[in-house]
Amino acid sequence: MLIWLLAGISLVHVMLGFALGLSGDEAHYAMYATMLDWSYYDHPPLVGWVQWPLVAAGAPDGVLRIIPNLVWVITAWLIFDITRQLALQQGQPGLHAPASKPSTSKSTDSESTVLTQPGNNAERAQRAGLWAVAAFGVAPVLHILGIGLLPDTLLMLWGAAVMRHLLPMLRSPQACNLRNWLVLGALLGLAGLSKYTAVFLAAGVVAALVGVHGWRVLARPAPWLAVLLAVLIILPVLLWNAGHDWLSFRYQLNHGSGSAWELRHMLGFLAAQLLLYPAMVWGLWACWRNPPSWAVVRPLVWLAALPLGVLTYMAGGGTGLPHWTAPAWVAAAPLAGLGLQALWDSGRRRTSQVLLGAQALLSAGIFALMLSAGPTWLSSTAPVATGQAAQVDEINPFTDFYGWQSAAQAATELAQGRGIQHLAVQNWTLASRLAWYARPLPVHVLDAGFDQFSLWTGPLPTGADALLMDWSQMAYTLPVGAGRFERCELLRTLPVAAGGRTVAHFSWFHCHNWGGQPAPVRQEGA
Protein backbone atom coordinates (compact mmCIF):
# COMPACT_ATOMS: atom_id res chain seq x y z
CA MET A 1 0.00 0.00 0.00
CA LEU A 2 2.75 2.48 0.95
CA ILE A 3 4.71 1.77 -2.24
CA TRP A 4 1.67 2.30 -4.46
CA LEU A 5 0.74 5.49 -2.62
CA LEU A 6 4.22 6.99 -2.97
CA ALA A 7 4.55 5.81 -6.58
CA GLY A 8 1.25 7.45 -7.53
CA ILE A 9 2.13 10.77 -5.90
CA SER A 10 5.61 10.67 -7.43
CA LEU A 11 4.13 10.18 -10.88
CA VAL A 12 1.99 13.30 -10.39
CA HIS A 13 5.05 15.26 -9.25
CA VAL A 14 7.08 14.14 -12.26
CA MET A 15 4.31 14.98 -14.72
CA LEU A 16 3.90 18.46 -13.26
CA GLY A 17 7.68 18.87 -13.11
CA PHE A 18 8.04 18.34 -16.84
CA ALA A 19 4.91 20.31 -17.78
CA LEU A 20 5.68 23.55 -15.94
CA GLY A 21 8.50 26.06 -16.12
CA LEU A 22 10.52 26.94 -13.04
CA SER A 23 9.04 29.26 -10.44
CA GLY A 24 10.99 32.31 -9.33
CA ASP A 25 12.35 30.62 -6.23
CA GLU A 26 13.31 27.46 -8.11
CA ALA A 27 15.19 29.43 -10.74
CA HIS A 28 16.94 31.44 -8.04
CA TYR A 29 18.27 28.31 -6.35
CA ALA A 30 19.12 26.72 -9.68
CA MET A 31 21.24 29.82 -10.33
CA TYR A 32 23.16 28.90 -7.18
CA ALA A 33 24.38 25.84 -9.08
CA THR A 34 25.70 28.02 -11.91
CA MET A 35 27.45 30.36 -9.44
CA LEU A 36 28.97 27.85 -7.00
CA ASP A 37 30.07 29.46 -3.76
CA TRP A 38 30.54 28.65 -0.07
CA SER A 39 27.23 30.33 0.70
CA TYR A 40 24.83 32.96 -0.59
CA TYR A 41 23.18 36.16 0.53
CA ASP A 42 19.74 34.81 1.34
CA HIS A 43 20.33 31.09 2.09
CA PRO A 44 23.01 28.50 2.84
CA PRO A 45 24.45 26.68 -0.18
CA LEU A 46 23.17 23.08 -0.09
CA VAL A 47 20.14 23.80 -2.27
CA GLY A 48 22.53 24.85 -5.03
CA TRP A 49 25.20 22.23 -4.41
CA VAL A 50 22.83 19.28 -4.80
CA GLN A 51 21.70 20.59 -8.20
CA TRP A 52 25.17 21.28 -9.53
CA PRO A 53 25.84 17.90 -11.22
CA LEU A 54 22.59 18.05 -13.21
CA VAL A 55 22.94 21.75 -14.00
CA ALA A 56 26.54 21.22 -15.15
CA ALA A 57 25.29 18.41 -17.42
CA GLY A 58 22.67 20.73 -18.95
CA ALA A 59 19.68 18.82 -17.57
CA PRO A 60 16.24 20.25 -18.47
CA ASP A 61 13.90 21.66 -15.85
CA GLY A 62 11.91 18.43 -15.52
CA VAL A 63 15.02 16.41 -14.71
CA LEU A 64 16.09 18.97 -12.10
CA ARG A 65 12.72 18.47 -10.44
CA ILE A 66 13.44 14.79 -9.90
CA ILE A 67 15.59 15.91 -6.94
CA PRO A 68 12.76 17.43 -4.86
CA ASN A 69 10.49 14.52 -5.76
CA LEU A 70 13.08 12.04 -4.50
CA VAL A 71 13.53 14.08 -1.32
CA TRP A 72 9.75 14.12 -0.82
CA VAL A 73 9.51 10.33 -1.21
CA ILE A 74 12.35 9.68 1.26
CA THR A 75 10.77 12.10 3.73
CA ALA A 76 7.42 10.31 3.41
CA TRP A 77 9.08 6.93 4.02
CA LEU A 78 10.83 8.28 7.11
CA ILE A 79 7.51 9.61 8.41
CA PHE A 80 6.00 6.15 7.91
CA ASP A 81 8.85 4.42 9.72
CA ILE A 82 8.87 6.90 12.62
CA THR A 83 5.13 6.49 13.12
CA ARG A 84 5.39 2.71 12.94
CA GLN A 85 8.14 2.67 15.56
CA LEU A 86 6.18 5.01 17.84
CA ALA A 87 3.10 2.83 17.53
CA LEU A 88 5.08 -0.32 18.37
CA GLN A 89 6.50 1.38 21.47
CA GLN A 90 3.07 2.13 22.90
CA GLY A 91 2.73 0.40 26.25
CA GLN A 92 6.19 -1.16 26.09
CA PRO A 93 8.71 -0.66 28.91
CA GLY A 94 12.07 0.89 28.35
CA LEU A 95 11.43 4.53 27.54
CA HIS A 96 13.58 6.54 29.92
CA ALA A 97 10.82 8.88 31.09
CA PRO A 98 8.25 8.94 33.86
CA ALA A 99 4.97 7.26 33.10
CA SER A 100 2.12 9.56 32.23
CA LYS A 101 -0.98 9.83 34.37
CA PRO A 102 -4.09 8.09 33.09
CA SER A 103 -6.30 10.36 31.04
CA THR A 104 -9.63 11.38 32.53
CA SER A 105 -11.24 11.72 29.11
CA LYS A 106 -14.43 9.70 28.62
CA SER A 107 -13.11 8.35 25.33
CA THR A 108 -9.89 7.01 26.81
CA ASP A 109 -11.07 3.42 27.04
CA SER A 110 -11.82 3.17 23.34
CA GLU A 111 -9.00 5.29 21.97
CA SER A 112 -6.03 4.84 24.28
CA THR A 113 -5.81 1.07 23.82
CA VAL A 114 -6.25 0.76 20.07
CA LEU A 115 -2.51 0.58 19.48
CA THR A 116 -1.75 -1.81 22.31
CA GLN A 117 -4.25 -4.61 21.85
CA PRO A 118 -2.54 -8.02 21.96
CA GLY A 119 -1.77 -9.51 18.59
CA ASN A 120 -2.61 -6.33 16.69
CA ASN A 121 0.42 -4.14 17.34
CA ALA A 122 2.32 -4.77 14.12
CA GLU A 123 -0.72 -4.41 11.87
CA ARG A 124 -1.94 -1.30 13.66
CA ALA A 125 1.51 0.23 13.63
CA GLN A 126 1.62 -0.20 9.84
CA ARG A 127 -1.77 1.47 9.51
CA ALA A 128 -0.74 4.34 11.78
CA GLY A 129 2.25 4.89 9.50
CA LEU A 130 -0.06 4.99 6.48
CA TRP A 131 -2.28 7.53 8.22
CA ALA A 132 0.76 9.73 8.86
CA VAL A 133 1.84 9.50 5.21
CA ALA A 134 -1.73 10.24 4.10
CA ALA A 135 -1.85 13.38 6.25
CA PHE A 136 1.52 14.38 4.83
CA GLY A 137 0.55 13.44 1.28
CA VAL A 138 -2.62 15.52 1.02
CA ALA A 139 -1.08 18.77 2.27
CA PRO A 140 -0.81 21.14 -0.75
CA VAL A 141 2.19 23.14 0.48
CA LEU A 142 4.20 19.97 1.07
CA HIS A 143 3.38 18.84 -2.47
CA ILE A 144 4.73 22.11 -3.87
CA LEU A 145 8.00 21.42 -2.04
CA GLY A 146 8.03 17.98 -3.65
CA ILE A 147 7.88 19.51 -7.13
CA GLY A 148 10.17 22.52 -6.73
CA LEU A 149 13.45 22.37 -4.83
CA LEU A 150 13.54 24.95 -2.06
CA PRO A 151 15.70 25.04 1.10
CA ASP A 152 12.59 23.94 3.00
CA THR A 153 12.44 20.76 0.87
CA LEU A 154 15.85 19.72 2.16
CA LEU A 155 15.09 20.82 5.71
CA MET A 156 12.01 18.57 5.70
CA LEU A 157 14.25 15.60 4.90
CA TRP A 158 16.88 16.35 7.56
CA GLY A 159 14.18 17.04 10.14
CA ALA A 160 12.57 13.65 9.50
CA ALA A 161 15.98 11.94 9.54
CA VAL A 162 16.85 13.61 12.86
CA MET A 163 13.52 12.56 14.35
CA ARG A 164 14.02 8.93 13.32
CA HIS A 165 17.58 8.92 14.63
CA LEU A 166 16.42 10.36 17.96
CA LEU A 167 13.98 7.54 18.75
CA PRO A 168 16.49 5.05 20.20
CA MET A 169 18.42 7.86 21.92
CA LEU A 170 15.22 8.92 23.69
CA ARG A 171 14.27 5.37 24.54
CA SER A 172 17.50 4.29 26.20
CA PRO A 173 20.47 6.10 27.74
CA GLN A 174 22.71 3.37 26.32
CA ALA A 175 21.80 4.55 22.81
CA CYS A 176 23.30 7.96 23.59
CA ASN A 177 26.72 6.68 22.54
CA LEU A 178 29.42 8.43 20.57
CA ARG A 179 28.37 6.98 17.21
CA ASN A 180 24.76 8.10 17.55
CA TRP A 181 25.80 11.53 18.77
CA LEU A 182 28.09 11.99 15.75
CA VAL A 183 25.37 10.92 13.31
CA LEU A 184 23.03 13.38 15.00
CA GLY A 185 25.63 16.13 14.67
CA ALA A 186 26.09 15.34 10.97
CA LEU A 187 22.35 15.48 10.31
CA LEU A 188 22.03 18.81 12.12
CA GLY A 189 25.01 20.13 10.18
CA LEU A 190 23.35 19.19 6.89
CA ALA A 191 20.17 20.88 8.10
CA GLY A 192 22.22 23.99 8.82
CA LEU A 193 23.60 23.89 5.27
CA SER A 194 20.01 23.87 4.02
CA LYS A 195 18.31 26.73 5.87
CA TYR A 196 18.97 29.00 8.83
CA THR A 197 15.74 27.96 10.55
CA ALA A 198 17.49 24.64 11.24
CA VAL A 199 18.37 26.34 14.53
CA PHE A 200 14.82 25.54 15.66
CA LEU A 201 15.40 21.88 14.85
CA ALA A 202 18.59 21.87 16.92
CA ALA A 203 16.81 23.56 19.83
CA GLY A 204 14.02 20.99 19.65
CA VAL A 205 16.55 18.15 19.75
CA VAL A 206 18.17 19.56 22.89
CA ALA A 207 14.77 20.07 24.54
CA ALA A 208 13.71 16.49 23.74
CA LEU A 209 16.91 14.87 25.02
CA VAL A 210 17.13 16.99 28.15
CA GLY A 211 13.45 16.44 28.84
CA VAL A 212 13.94 12.66 28.84
CA HIS A 213 17.44 12.19 30.28
CA GLY A 214 18.00 15.45 32.17
CA TRP A 215 20.88 17.88 31.79
CA ARG A 216 23.34 15.12 32.60
CA VAL A 217 23.00 13.92 29.01
CA LEU A 218 25.09 16.95 27.98
CA ALA A 219 27.73 16.43 30.67
CA ARG A 220 29.83 14.05 28.58
CA PRO A 221 32.24 14.73 25.68
CA ALA A 222 30.10 12.94 23.04
CA PRO A 223 27.39 15.63 22.58
CA TRP A 224 30.01 18.35 22.31
CA LEU A 225 31.89 16.36 19.70
CA ALA A 226 28.58 16.23 17.82
CA VAL A 227 28.31 20.01 18.11
CA LEU A 228 31.85 20.33 16.78
CA LEU A 229 31.01 18.11 13.81
CA ALA A 230 27.90 20.16 13.03
CA VAL A 231 29.96 23.37 13.16
CA LEU A 232 32.57 21.87 10.83
CA ILE A 233 29.85 20.98 8.33
CA ILE A 234 28.41 24.51 8.33
CA LEU A 235 31.89 26.08 8.33
CA PRO A 236 31.54 27.18 4.65
CA VAL A 237 28.55 29.32 5.65
CA LEU A 238 30.44 30.87 8.55
CA LEU A 239 33.55 31.57 6.48
CA TRP A 240 31.54 33.10 3.63
CA ASN A 241 29.67 35.37 6.02
CA ALA A 242 32.87 36.35 7.81
CA GLY A 243 34.23 37.48 4.44
CA HIS A 244 31.04 39.35 3.51
CA ASP A 245 30.39 41.40 6.65
CA TRP A 246 27.93 38.77 7.97
CA LEU A 247 25.47 39.67 5.24
CA SER A 248 23.27 36.58 5.55
CA PHE A 249 22.86 36.79 9.30
CA ARG A 250 21.99 40.47 9.20
CA TYR A 251 19.55 39.88 6.35
CA GLN A 252 17.82 36.99 8.12
CA LEU A 253 17.50 38.90 11.38
CA ASN A 254 15.96 41.89 9.62
CA HIS A 255 13.80 39.71 7.39
CA GLY A 256 12.55 37.62 10.30
CA SER A 257 11.68 40.57 12.51
CA GLY A 258 9.66 42.21 9.74
CA SER A 259 7.86 45.48 10.43
CA ALA A 260 5.76 46.50 13.44
CA TRP A 261 4.22 43.45 15.11
CA GLU A 262 0.43 43.19 14.74
CA LEU A 263 -1.89 40.56 16.16
CA ARG A 264 -3.93 40.39 12.94
CA HIS A 265 -0.87 39.28 10.98
CA MET A 266 -0.19 36.47 13.42
CA LEU A 267 -3.82 35.35 13.50
CA GLY A 268 -3.97 35.42 9.70
CA PHE A 269 -0.87 33.26 9.47
CA LEU A 270 -2.26 30.84 12.06
CA ALA A 271 -5.59 30.65 10.22
CA ALA A 272 -3.76 29.85 6.99
CA GLN A 273 -1.90 27.03 8.72
CA LEU A 274 -5.14 25.57 10.07
CA LEU A 275 -6.76 25.73 6.63
CA LEU A 276 -3.75 24.13 4.92
CA TYR A 277 -3.34 21.27 7.42
CA PRO A 278 -6.79 20.43 8.85
CA ALA A 279 -6.29 16.63 8.78
CA MET A 280 -2.93 17.02 10.53
CA VAL A 281 -4.48 19.29 13.17
CA TRP A 282 -7.34 16.82 13.72
CA GLY A 283 -4.87 13.97 14.21
CA LEU A 284 -2.73 16.02 16.59
CA TRP A 285 -5.79 16.90 18.64
CA ALA A 286 -6.64 13.21 18.96
CA CYS A 287 -3.07 12.31 19.88
CA TRP A 288 -2.94 15.03 22.54
CA ARG A 289 -6.35 14.28 24.01
CA ASN A 290 -5.99 10.50 24.34
CA PRO A 291 -2.35 9.46 23.84
CA PRO A 292 -1.79 5.70 24.15
CA SER A 293 1.51 6.43 25.87
CA TRP A 294 2.23 10.13 26.30
CA ALA A 295 5.76 9.47 27.53
CA VAL A 296 6.65 8.05 24.11
CA VAL A 297 5.53 11.02 22.04
CA ARG A 298 5.97 13.92 24.48
CA PRO A 299 9.69 14.57 23.79
CA LEU A 300 9.05 14.73 20.05
CA VAL A 301 6.46 17.47 20.42
CA TRP A 302 9.31 19.95 20.76
CA LEU A 303 10.44 19.30 17.18
CA ALA A 304 7.08 20.48 15.85
CA ALA A 305 5.84 22.92 18.48
CA LEU A 306 9.00 25.00 18.83
CA PRO A 307 9.45 26.04 15.16
CA LEU A 308 5.70 26.34 14.60
CA GLY A 309 5.30 28.56 17.66
CA VAL A 310 8.26 30.80 16.89
CA LEU A 311 7.36 31.21 13.19
CA THR A 312 3.74 31.95 14.04
CA TYR A 313 4.80 34.67 16.47
CA MET A 314 7.27 36.09 13.94
CA ALA A 315 4.47 36.25 11.37
CA GLY A 316 3.05 39.08 13.47
CA GLY A 317 5.71 41.24 11.82
CA GLY A 318 4.15 40.54 8.44
CA THR A 319 6.95 38.30 7.13
CA GLY A 320 5.52 34.77 7.45
CA LEU A 321 5.22 32.55 4.38
CA PRO A 322 3.13 29.34 4.41
CA HIS A 323 5.98 27.00 3.44
CA TRP A 324 8.27 28.13 6.26
CA THR A 325 6.46 25.84 8.68
CA ALA A 326 6.72 22.75 6.43
CA PRO A 327 9.52 21.09 8.48
CA ALA A 328 7.44 21.57 11.64
CA TRP A 329 4.48 19.80 10.04
CA VAL A 330 6.75 16.97 8.94
CA ALA A 331 7.73 16.53 12.59
CA ALA A 332 4.05 16.61 13.55
CA ALA A 333 2.98 14.03 10.94
CA PRO A 334 3.90 10.89 12.97
CA LEU A 335 2.00 12.19 15.98
CA ALA A 336 -0.97 13.00 13.77
CA GLY A 337 -0.77 9.49 12.31
CA LEU A 338 -1.10 7.98 15.78
CA GLY A 339 -4.10 10.16 16.50
CA LEU A 340 -5.85 9.41 13.21
CA GLN A 341 -5.33 5.67 13.71
CA ALA A 342 -6.80 5.92 17.20
CA LEU A 343 -9.84 7.81 15.91
CA TRP A 344 -10.36 5.31 13.12
CA ASP A 345 -10.24 2.26 15.37
CA SER A 346 -12.54 3.90 17.92
CA GLY A 347 -15.19 4.33 15.24
CA ARG A 348 -14.86 8.12 14.86
CA ARG A 349 -14.08 7.99 11.16
CA ARG A 350 -16.25 10.50 9.37
CA THR A 351 -14.32 13.66 10.28
CA SER A 352 -10.98 12.09 9.31
CA GLN A 353 -12.37 10.99 5.95
CA VAL A 354 -13.88 14.40 5.24
CA LEU A 355 -10.73 16.34 6.16
CA LEU A 356 -8.40 14.07 4.21
CA GLY A 357 -10.72 14.14 1.22
CA ALA A 358 -11.04 17.92 1.35
CA GLN A 359 -7.28 18.35 1.45
CA ALA A 360 -6.81 15.89 -1.41
CA LEU A 361 -9.35 17.84 -3.49
CA LEU A 362 -7.59 21.11 -2.61
CA SER A 363 -4.25 19.72 -3.76
CA ALA A 364 -5.80 18.33 -6.95
CA GLY A 365 -7.46 21.69 -7.59
CA ILE A 366 -4.18 23.53 -7.18
CA PHE A 367 -2.49 21.10 -9.58
CA ALA A 368 -5.29 21.64 -12.11
CA LEU A 369 -4.93 25.42 -11.83
CA MET A 370 -1.18 25.15 -12.29
CA LEU A 371 -1.63 23.09 -15.47
CA SER A 372 -4.34 25.41 -16.84
CA ALA A 373 -2.53 28.64 -15.89
CA GLY A 374 -5.27 29.65 -13.48
CA PRO A 375 -9.06 29.88 -13.69
CA THR A 376 -10.47 30.39 -17.17
CA TRP A 377 -12.07 33.72 -16.29
CA LEU A 378 -8.60 35.22 -15.68
CA SER A 379 -7.36 36.20 -19.12
CA SER A 380 -5.29 39.04 -20.48
CA THR A 381 -6.33 41.68 -22.98
CA ALA A 382 -3.95 42.90 -25.64
CA PRO A 383 -1.42 45.41 -24.28
CA VAL A 384 -1.49 49.03 -25.29
CA ALA A 385 1.94 49.97 -26.70
CA THR A 386 1.96 53.51 -25.34
CA GLY A 387 5.68 53.57 -24.74
CA GLN A 388 5.07 54.10 -21.03
CA ALA A 389 4.85 50.54 -19.68
CA ALA A 390 3.45 47.14 -20.40
CA GLN A 391 -0.24 46.42 -19.94
CA VAL A 392 -1.28 45.71 -16.34
CA ASP A 393 -3.25 42.45 -16.36
CA GLU A 394 -5.44 40.92 -13.70
CA ILE A 395 -3.16 39.26 -11.18
CA ASN A 396 -3.05 35.51 -11.73
CA PRO A 397 -0.44 33.72 -9.58
CA PHE A 398 -0.53 30.60 -11.77
CA THR A 399 1.02 32.45 -14.73
CA ASP A 400 4.31 32.26 -12.83
CA PHE A 401 5.13 28.99 -14.57
CA TYR A 402 4.52 30.15 -18.13
CA GLY A 403 6.36 32.08 -20.79
CA TRP A 404 9.68 32.77 -19.13
CA GLN A 405 11.79 30.57 -21.39
CA SER A 406 10.30 32.18 -24.50
CA ALA A 407 10.75 35.63 -23.00
CA ALA A 408 14.41 34.91 -22.25
CA GLN A 409 14.93 33.61 -25.79
CA ALA A 410 13.39 36.80 -27.17
CA ALA A 411 15.67 38.84 -24.90
CA THR A 412 18.74 36.99 -26.15
CA GLU A 413 17.78 37.61 -29.78
CA LEU A 414 17.04 41.31 -29.19
CA ALA A 415 20.24 41.84 -27.22
CA GLN A 416 22.38 40.17 -29.86
CA GLY A 417 20.65 41.99 -32.70
CA ARG A 418 21.17 45.41 -31.14
CA GLY A 419 24.49 44.80 -29.43
CA ILE A 420 23.04 45.32 -25.93
CA GLN A 421 25.22 43.76 -23.24
CA HIS A 422 22.96 44.13 -20.20
CA LEU A 423 19.50 42.85 -19.27
CA ALA A 424 17.59 44.70 -16.57
CA VAL A 425 14.50 44.33 -14.38
CA GLN A 426 13.10 46.49 -11.59
CA ASN A 427 12.57 43.83 -8.94
CA TRP A 428 14.85 40.98 -7.87
CA THR A 429 11.99 38.45 -8.02
CA LEU A 430 11.85 39.03 -11.78
CA ALA A 431 15.58 38.53 -12.19
CA SER A 432 16.04 34.85 -11.34
CA ARG A 433 13.99 33.27 -14.12
CA LEU A 434 15.34 35.70 -16.69
CA ALA A 435 18.91 35.02 -15.53
CA TRP A 436 18.32 31.26 -15.58
CA TYR A 437 16.83 31.03 -19.07
CA ALA A 438 18.94 33.81 -20.66
CA ARG A 439 22.28 32.80 -19.13
CA PRO A 440 25.08 33.78 -19.57
CA LEU A 441 23.74 37.30 -20.25
CA PRO A 442 24.05 39.36 -17.05
CA VAL A 443 20.85 40.57 -15.39
CA HIS A 444 20.89 43.75 -13.30
CA VAL A 445 18.24 44.71 -10.75
CA LEU A 446 17.34 48.41 -10.90
CA ASP A 447 16.58 48.73 -7.24
CA ALA A 448 18.31 50.61 -4.43
CA GLY A 449 18.09 47.57 -2.14
CA PHE A 450 20.61 44.76 -1.74
CA ASP A 451 20.02 41.21 -2.97
CA GLN A 452 21.91 38.22 -4.36
CA PHE A 453 22.18 39.89 -7.77
CA SER A 454 24.06 42.74 -6.12
CA LEU A 455 26.82 40.17 -5.58
CA TRP A 456 26.47 38.32 -8.87
CA THR A 457 26.21 41.17 -11.37
CA GLY A 458 26.28 44.37 -9.32
CA PRO A 459 24.52 47.61 -10.33
CA LEU A 460 24.02 48.53 -13.94
CA PRO A 461 26.99 50.74 -14.96
CA THR A 462 26.19 54.42 -15.19
CA GLY A 463 25.79 55.50 -18.81
CA ALA A 464 25.07 51.98 -20.05
CA ASP A 465 22.20 50.91 -22.27
CA ALA A 466 20.05 47.98 -21.19
CA LEU A 467 17.31 45.72 -22.46
CA LEU A 468 14.59 46.24 -19.86
CA MET A 469 11.96 43.59 -19.26
CA ASP A 470 8.49 44.34 -17.95
CA TRP A 471 6.00 41.59 -17.03
CA SER A 472 2.29 42.35 -16.93
CA GLN A 473 1.83 40.42 -13.66
CA MET A 474 4.34 42.69 -11.88
CA ALA A 475 4.38 45.80 -14.03
CA TYR A 476 6.43 48.90 -13.28
CA THR A 477 6.42 52.38 -14.77
CA LEU A 478 9.34 52.94 -17.09
CA PRO A 479 12.40 54.30 -15.23
CA VAL A 480 12.82 57.41 -17.39
CA GLY A 481 13.81 60.79 -16.03
CA ALA A 482 16.46 62.48 -13.92
CA GLY A 483 18.90 59.93 -12.52
CA ARG A 484 17.35 57.09 -14.52
CA PHE A 485 17.31 56.29 -18.22
CA GLU A 486 17.37 59.07 -20.76
CA ARG A 487 14.69 57.34 -22.86
CA CYS A 488 13.19 53.86 -23.46
CA GLU A 489 11.70 52.55 -26.67
CA LEU A 490 9.41 49.53 -26.94
CA LEU A 491 11.00 46.80 -29.04
CA ARG A 492 8.69 43.86 -28.64
CA THR A 493 5.67 42.58 -26.76
CA LEU A 494 5.38 38.85 -26.22
CA PRO A 495 1.97 37.38 -25.28
CA VAL A 496 1.94 34.28 -23.08
CA ALA A 497 -0.64 31.72 -24.15
CA ALA A 498 -1.84 28.82 -21.99
CA GLY A 499 -5.06 26.84 -21.92
CA GLY A 500 -6.17 28.39 -25.21
CA ARG A 501 -6.02 31.96 -23.93
CA THR A 502 -3.54 34.75 -23.32
CA VAL A 503 -2.65 34.94 -19.63
CA ALA A 504 0.17 37.49 -19.47
CA HIS A 505 2.54 39.64 -21.52
CA PHE A 506 6.23 40.39 -21.55
CA SER A 507 7.46 43.71 -22.94
CA TRP A 508 11.01 44.54 -23.94
CA PHE A 509 12.38 48.07 -24.02
CA HIS A 510 15.71 49.39 -25.25
CA CYS A 511 16.63 51.91 -22.56
CA HIS A 512 19.47 54.38 -23.08
CA ASN A 513 22.07 56.03 -20.83
CA TRP A 514 21.42 54.80 -17.29
CA GLY A 515 21.71 57.54 -14.65
CA GLY A 516 22.52 55.28 -11.69
CA GLN A 517 19.66 56.32 -9.35
CA PRO A 518 17.01 53.57 -9.25
CA ALA A 519 13.55 54.29 -7.85
CA PRO A 520 11.14 51.61 -9.14
CA VAL A 521 7.41 52.42 -9.05
CA ARG A 522 4.79 49.68 -9.42
CA GLN A 523 2.00 50.19 -11.91
CA GLU A 524 -1.41 50.64 -10.32
CA GLY A 525 -3.17 47.28 -10.05
CA ALA A 526 -0.01 45.25 -10.62
pLDDT category of residue 342 using cuts at 50, 70 and 90: confident
pLDDT at 392 over 80: no
Average pLDDT, the chain: 88
Rounded CA-CA distance 319/214 in Å is 36
CB 226 within 8 A of CB 189: no
400: CB partners within 8 A, 6+ apart: 23, 24, 473
pLDDT category of residue 101 using cuts at 50, 70 and 90: very low
Q: For 266-285, write each residue's pLDDT tens digit.
A: 999 999 999 899 999 999 98
Which whole number is the average pLDDT over 178-184? Answer: 97
Ranges 163-167, 342-346, 360-364, most confident: 163-167
Question: Helix and strand tally (H, E) in the chain?
Answer: 24, 5
For the stretch 87-103, what's the b/e string if a residue is b when 16 or more beta carbons lie within 10 angstroms of its beta carbon? bbbbeeeebbbeeeeeb
pLDDT at 109 over 90: no
CB 36 within 8 A of CB 55: no
Q: For 120-148, write each residue's pLDDT tens digit.
A: 788 889 999 999 999 999 999 999 999 99
Q: What percent of the chain is predicted at pLDDT more than 90?
A: 68
Q: Where are the alpha helices (DSSP H) in 214-325?
A: 221-233, 235-243, 247-257, 263-276, 278-289, 294-297, 301-314
Sheet of 487-498: strand order equals: 443-445, 423-425, 466-471, 501-512, 487-498
Which is higher by pLDDT, 73 or 389? 73
pLDDT at 88 over 90: no
Grouping H, G, I as helix, E, B as strand and the rest as coil, residue 387 is coil
User: CA geometry: angle at 128 spanning 125 and 129, to 5°?
Assistant: 90
pLDDT at 325 over 60: yes
pLDDT at 117 over 60: no
Q: For 2-39, write each residue's pLDDT tens digit.
A: 999 999 999 999 999 999 999 999 999 999 999 999 99
Which whole number is the average pLDDT over 76-91? Answer: 89
Which whole number is the average pLDDT over 329-349? Answer: 90
Q: pTM for this structure?
A: 0.89
- Report pLDDT for 445: 96
Query: Could you give the C-alpha distances from 46 to 138, 155, 224, 280, 419, in angstroms and in order?
Result: 27, 10, 24, 29, 37
Rounded CA-CA distance 76/66 in Å is 15
For helices 326-345 and 121-137, angle between their N-to-C axes, nearest 10 degrees: 130
Ranges 143-157, 339-353, 383-397, most confident: 143-157
Extract long-range pairs of 299-302: CB within 8 Å, 24+ residues apart.
299/97, 299/166, 299/170, 299/207, 299/208, 299/209, 299/211, 299/212, 300/86, 300/163, 300/166, 300/170, 300/208, 300/331, 300/334, 300/335, 301/335, 302/203, 302/204, 302/205, 302/207, 302/208, 302/211
HEC string for 272-299: HHHHHCHHHHHHHHHHHHCCCCHHHHHH
Which whole number is the average pLDDT over 66-91? Answer: 92
pLDDT at 318 over 90: no
State the amino acid at position 175 in one-letter form: A
Q: For 455-506, write each residue's pLDDT tens digit.
A: 999 999 999 999 999 999 999 999 999 999 999 999 999 999 887 888 899 9
Provide the 8-state DSSP code for 316.
G
pLDDT category of residue 380 using cuts at 50, 70 and 90: low
Query: Could you give the C-alpha distances from 257 to 79, 263, 519, in angstroms and in order?
Result: 32, 14, 25
Q: For 441-459, write each residue's pLDDT tens digit.
A: 999 999 988 999 999 999 9
Which whole number is the average pLDDT over 160-189? Answer: 95
